[in-house]
Amino acid sequence: IVPEELDLVTAGALPLAALTAWQALFEVAELEAGQKVLIHAGAGGVGHFAVQFALERGAHVIATASASNRDFLAAFGVHEVIDYHTTDVVDECYGLDVVLDLVGGETGKRSLHTLSEHGVLVTIPTVTADEIITAAESLGLRAHGMTVRPDVFHLDEIAELIEDGDVRVHIDKTFSLDQVADAHRLLEGGHVRGKLVLDCGAR
């Protein structure tokens, strides 16, 4: 059921990315008001939800992004934006409560060094989760992978935030079915702002 405030294209962009961000921050990391969180790829599909959810919860939010996305994230109210092309997060961040790693690999492993001794890193790319968790254990730190699961109650909470205007869904581009190859190429390039939507034409 789509809330009347949401059009079908916006609603189609919502569930998987928004639930991933919500569950990673609030179920796995147990992010609370006043805590400091670093969100990698903050302008992406999951990331742009995560920064808004964390801000709504009252956290201090730091996000990595390219320079071209600085203003996009600043408009949400992100406290600090780090250009990952020019700056190493380890030089800028320390004593963090939570890291949401949406990149994986070396980025995830290096980000462990930004955590406080009681902090936690949640990594979403499953292919590198095990190596990041192993690296965390060797440092005496906590890291978790996660798999999103359907949850109607979480979706209700998220939909209410969107209906109230507290969270925005950013659609970078909408593709028709015959443009699916173009959509995949854009996704694989790794520089999508917000979400891409495939419009199947059903109304």
DSSP 21-58: HHIIIIIIS---TT-EEEETTTTSHHHHHHHHHHHHTT
DSSP assigned state of 96? E
- Between 17 and 26, name the one with better pLDDT: 26
Q: Which helix (H) or strand (E) holds 185?
A: helix 180-189
pLDDT at 152 over 90: no
Three-state SS at 118: strand
pTM of the model: 0.81
Assign 149 a pLDDT band (cuts: 50, 70, 90). confident
Closest CA to 192 of 66, 10, 7: 66
* Domains observed in the chain: 8-145 (3.40.50.720)
Q: What is the pLDDT of residues 33-91, one digit of tens each?
A: 999 999 999 998 899 999 999 999 999 999 999 999 999 999 999 999 999 999 999 99
Percentages helix, strand, coil for the chain, rounded to the nearest 5?
45, 20, 35
What local confidence, expressed as pLDDT, does residue 178 receive?
A: 53
Residues 63 and 73: beta-carbon distance below 8 Å: yes
